[in-house]
Amino acid sequence: MSFSLPPRSGNQYIIESGDYRAVVTQQGAALRSLTYKGRDVIIPFGANDTVTVSRGQLLIPFPNRIADGEYSFEGVAHSLPIDEHDRHNAIHGYGYRSLWTPVSASETQVELTWRAPNIPGYPFDVIVNATYTLDDEGLGLTVKAWNHGSANAPWAMAIHPWIANGLNGYGDRIESDNGRCALTIPADTHVTVDDRLLPTGTEPVDGTAYDLRESTIMEGRHFDDAWTDLLRDESGHATARLIRPDGMTVGIHGDSTVTSFQVCTGTGFPEKTRPAGIAVEPQTAYANAFNTGIDLTVIHPDETVSTTVGISASIDDAS
């Protein structure tokens, strides 16, 4: 007997509009690929690949780290699995581990849904819908979380795109290639951390190496950091921008529920997992929010909360 196996990341949903093309996986509703005029906007991964460094993944019901996997919510203590063993943290939730259920798909849009399993550490009955849409402006992602349970639920989310540097660097070249990119993070405040990358406080970016409010060349700048107190346009959106040496400018924006951006340059990562680009992550709360309560969303029973983020690209053909 023979049969055809699906990819290990489940069904692959291809959406296209104008010069944009994206691939979303059933596993984790992850953004596997995004191209503009045939060029990689993010660093893609294969349908059967093990995803390293959270490329393209949705981070729910919390992004980043929770110290020791322990937190207390409304007087009840909870313990999450430790999956960043060297720093003894829980990290990035677990929505990325599951096969999501397709709701609808068209040429330009795909919607997937996931119900948080009843596991120790997060016993809250939250149902999540992720809708990816392509149009002439780029990629939009709306994540809605509905509390189907009878108790309040803690919640935070992010998406973890690694923006490609456009040079297809590898090994030791990646850091120098990333250094030729210029990054803008529209934020007045930098989040300070300890050696476990857990927040210890905040500081104004004025006069520091963390002031990225103007386009800043990344040479010699090594980050795994968050920025908050975001600067917004009239619509309430905050937009980070990466200008690549190949002439592409990538914008990553979030609506008013996005309170911070995390940036990771991958410095020090092993060569086999070091991506040829820079992660720029819009997030509704930064690390350890389940403990600190900073920017934590509390979803009341039968309440739905929503976050919209987006990625766009343009190319200066003169570069």
6: which DSSP letter?
P
pLDDT at 175: 81
pLDDT tens-digit map of 200-226: 999 999 999 999 999 999 999 999 999
Q: Residue 263 and residue 279: Cα distance in Å, rounded? A: 5
pLDDT at 230: 98
pLDDT at 100: 98
Burial class (CB in 10 A: 0-12, 13-18, 19+), 295: middle
pLDDT tens-digit map of 263-292: 999 887 887 778 899 999 999 999 999 999
Residue 293, phi then psi, degrees to nearest 5: 80, 0
Q: Residue 66 and residue 43: Cα distance in Å, rounded? A: 26
The residue with tokens 């929010």 is 289
Would you state the structure tokens that stand for residue 195, as one six-digit string?
A: 């050696």
pLDDT tens-digit map of 112-163: 999 999 988 999 999 999 999 999 999 999 999 999 999 999 999 999 999 9
pLDDT tens-digit map of 6-35: 899 999 999 999 999 999 999 999 999 999
Per-residue CA distances from 20 to 110, 212, 253 (Å): 14, 28, 17
Q: What is the CA radius of gyration of the chain?
A: 19
In this structure, the strands spanning 224-230 and 260-264 are antiparallel
Q: Residue 195 and residue 273: Cα distance in Å, rounded? A: 21
Burial class (CB in 10 A: 0-12, 13-18, 19+), 121: middle
pTM: 0.96
pLDDT at 317: 74
In this structure, the strands spanning 153-155 and 297-299 are antiparallel
Q: Which helix (H) or strand (E) holds 176?
A: helix 173-178
CB atoms near residue 294 (< 10 Å):
17
pLDDT tens-digit map of 161-197: 999 999 865 555 778 889 999 999 999 999 999 999 9
Evaluate whether the domain defined by 12-179+265-310 bears CATH number 2.70.98.10.
Answer: yes
Q: Is 112 in contact with 285 (CB distance < 8 Å)?
A: no
Q: Of 288, 300, 285, give the one whose Cα is nearest residue 228.
A: 285
